[in-house]
Structure 1
Amino acid sequence: GSAPHVMTLGYDAPSIEDPAYDAHPVKEPAGGAPPAARGVQMAVRSGYAIPMGDATGAGADELSRSFRGQVPVLIEVGAKSGDSFFFGLYAGLGFGGAGSAADASCSSSGLSCDAQTFRLGPEVQVHLNPAGKVNPWLGYGVGLEISTVSMRGPGGSASMSLMGVELAHLMAGVDFRLSSALGAGPVLDLSLAQYSSMTMEMNGFEVPGASGQIAETAIHAWLSLGARLVLFP
């Protein structure tokens, strides 16, 4: 007639009917932001870039005499190692007009002219708030830069290309992390480079004696402001 012995766990177990009890708790990220991304990340950006400094060390050879402002399209592909660091490659192509002196020469010769700048190199970024909805970041890269003025007319085509090392590609931006798959935001970009060689071509063939190493080099820059779209921010 004695009551059956009941084994207890030594504490008051919560009832599954208790609204405060959740058998499968899910931790929501602060502010509703998606979790910090890791692994593959890609981005594409564009804006407007202005030329600064000198193309060469020769007198009165400002970069703006050969190149006007350009609209760059730059792609970044890489991966995040941990939450904060991104390692990858960037490749970009800028489109614009010939600078003041080049444009005047083209006009007097009855030619149509435009200009392009290609750049390629590795980069690293550090993300300051990788799990937040608003994620500021800083970046640095080095690489190759080739800027070309192209000329076309009834007699054929010609081009003048300057090639050198991009000594410092400095980047700063803010990603607004809209979801785990998509982000967007503004970006400021400063490229410091030095041209070391020049190539002249006429109708696709190099002009003898007009190409070679630049004897007097100088530092130039491209400063751009734009926006970028990020996959897996």
Structure 2
Amino acid sequence: MHFVPLTAFSVPLGNASGARRDSLGGRYGWQWVPIELGLGAKVIEELYIGAYLSLGVGYEGSDSRTAARCEAGNDFEDDVSCSSTTVHAGIEARYNFEPAESLNGWFGYGFGMTSGNESVSDSGRYRESTTARGLDVARLSGGLDFRAKRGFGLGPYAILSIGRYLHTRTEVREDVTFSGDIDRKSFHAWLSLGLRMVVFP
């Protein structure tokens, strides 16, 4: 078996949809990925196939309207909190160049589902949440593992997740105000840089 926890930060690139001025960074700020889990097995010594799940948390994006609402809560009279979260899950394959050596480079490809949520809350009096869901059509990854002993590895990595949101849902005070497909779809990407730990490599 092959267990891979990671930690990283991610930055948004591209557009959330084809609508005017709907950039991914306008919706979501940069994300801290506290942990990403991978679980799978080696088909051969060089080739790993498994599943992955990652969760990112961060602040609101750079959209001027959202930023104004969030900044309005920075005084003592209001208690407005703004946040964003992202989820990626799917399957991937990774090829290892030198799996038996203490220094091993690798690259991978995967695909799966993706979702992003932006939330504004005013101390329980008001809450608005919008969630977009779609597909990661390509998850391109690569890195370098340093293995001091068999059974454990540590090293830097990078991931470029290219996706497309297909559906969006908005809730205001727990009431659904909109739920449907996105008319004008667009591709976006998340670039992640971080450190991974490999157990039973």
TM-score (structure 1 length as normaliser)? 0.79
Q: 2:29 aligns with which of 50, 63, 68?
A: 68
Aligned partner of 2:118 in structure 1 is 149
Q: CA deviation at 1:66?
A: 0.7
Q: 1:211: Cα distance to partner?
A: 2.0
Secondary structure in structure 1 of the residue aligned to 2:196 = strand
Structure 2 residue aligned with 1:219, among 183, 187, 198? 187
State percent identity of aligned pairs.
33
Q: Give me the whole-angstrom Cα distance separating, in 2, the residues matched to 1:100 and 1:174.
A: 33
Look up the equivalent residue of 2:136 and give its one-letter code: E
The gaps in structure 1 that reach 5 residues or longer are 1-39
Give per-residue Cα distances to partners, 1:21-60, cap 9 Å, x unaligned.
Answer: xxxxxxxxxxxxxxxxxxx010111111110000100111
Corresponding position: 1:169 with 2:139: yes
Q: Specify the code of the residue in structure 1 equivalent to 2:93.
A: V
**Partner AA of 1:214 in structure 2:** I
1:1-233 pair list within 5 angstroms? 40-72=1-33, 73-101=35-63, 102-108=66-72, 111-154=80-123, 155-207=125-177, 210-233=178-201
Distance, in Å, in 2 between the alignment partners of 1:211 and 1:106 is: 24
More strand by share: 2
Q: Matched residues in 2 for 1:91 and 1:204: separation?
A: 27
Aligned equivalents of 2:175 and 2:138: distance in 1? 32
Q: Which moved more, 1:100-109 or 1:215-224?
A: 100-109
Number of equivalent positions: 192
Q: CA RMSD in A?
A: 1.3
One-letter amino acid of the structure 2 residue matched with residue 178 of structure 1: A
Larger radius of gyration: 1
Q: What secondary structure does 2:149 align onto? A: coil
1:52-109 CA deviation, whole Å, 9 max, x = no partner? 0001001111111111110112110001112101010000000111101133333347
**Distance change (3 Å), C-alpha of 1:105 and 1:156:** closer
TM-score, normalising length from structure 2? Answer: 0.91
How far has the Cα of 1:113 moved from its partner?
0.4
Gaps of 5+ in 2: none
- Cα 1:179–1:205 change in 2 (3 A) is farther
